[in-house]
Amino acid sequence: MATLKTRINAQIRAPELRVIGPNGENVGVITLAEAMAQAKAAELDLIEVSPNATPPVAKIMDYGKFQYEQQKKDREIRAKSHITETKAVQVEVGTGENDLLRKARQAAGWLKEGHRVRVELFLKGRYKYMDPAFLKERLKRFVLLVPEDYRIAEDIQKGPKGFNMILEKAGKQKPAK
């Protein structure tokens, strides 16, 4: 993540600034020299907080405190971000009912955490030459066992190992059951 260097004191280039005082009050639009004089009088720094505004916004405050607040905001953002993975559940045509239920509960747990789930119907040997409609129905039967609300991100597709589909956690939409 590329962060722009914050300009402070003599690094500020704009001739006029909208200044916010040390107590959060709006000082108004003043020249750079006046703003620097006010910051020096308060024994604080002049920090350009919004360089793209017209005129740029600067705040009179301690630079160390400003850095601390920025780091605190960055930590909160990182804590709230969640990396989603695509987890895989592999079933076969001959997989027993209890194993299907266990795998469906596992997939539901992953969906609840916010991950995507790839459900693969693994075909080996003679199963590869069975009727595709029957195989797709078998995959749909497993997906119906998943107790968590979900939506189908990618419908049933033929892959190199068999058939697969991808499920996602249902948002505000109705589940695709």
Is residue 122 within 8 Å of 91, Cβ to Cβ? yes
Is 2 part of any domain?
A: no
Stated length of the chain: 177
Is 120 part of any domain?
A: yes
Distance, C-alpha 150 to centroid of its chain: 18
User: Which of 79 and 144 is assigned the larger pLDDT?
Assistant: 144
User: Which of 177 and 131 is assigned the larger pLDDT?
Assistant: 131
- On whether both 102 and 148 belong to a single domain, the answer is yes
Q: Which amino acid is at 39?
A: A
From 56, 80, 104, the end of a domain falls on 80
Is 119 part of any domain?
A: yes
List, for residues 112-142, the tens digit of each pLDDT value. Answer: 988 999 999 999 988 888 999 999 999 999 9
Q: Decide: residue 82, CB within 10 A, 0-12 exposed, 13-18 middle, 19+ buried.
A: exposed
Closest CA to 117 of 168, 156, 160, 50: 168
Query: What domain range includes position 109?
Result: 86-169
- On whether both 153 and 97 belong to a single domain, the answer is yes
Is 176 part of any domain?
A: no
From 80, 98, 129, the end of a domain falls on 80
- On whether both 95 and 76 belong to a single domain, the answer is no
- On whether both 60 and 103 belong to a single domain, the answer is no
From 24, 58, 80, the end of a domain falls on 80
On average, the pLDDT of the chain sits at 87
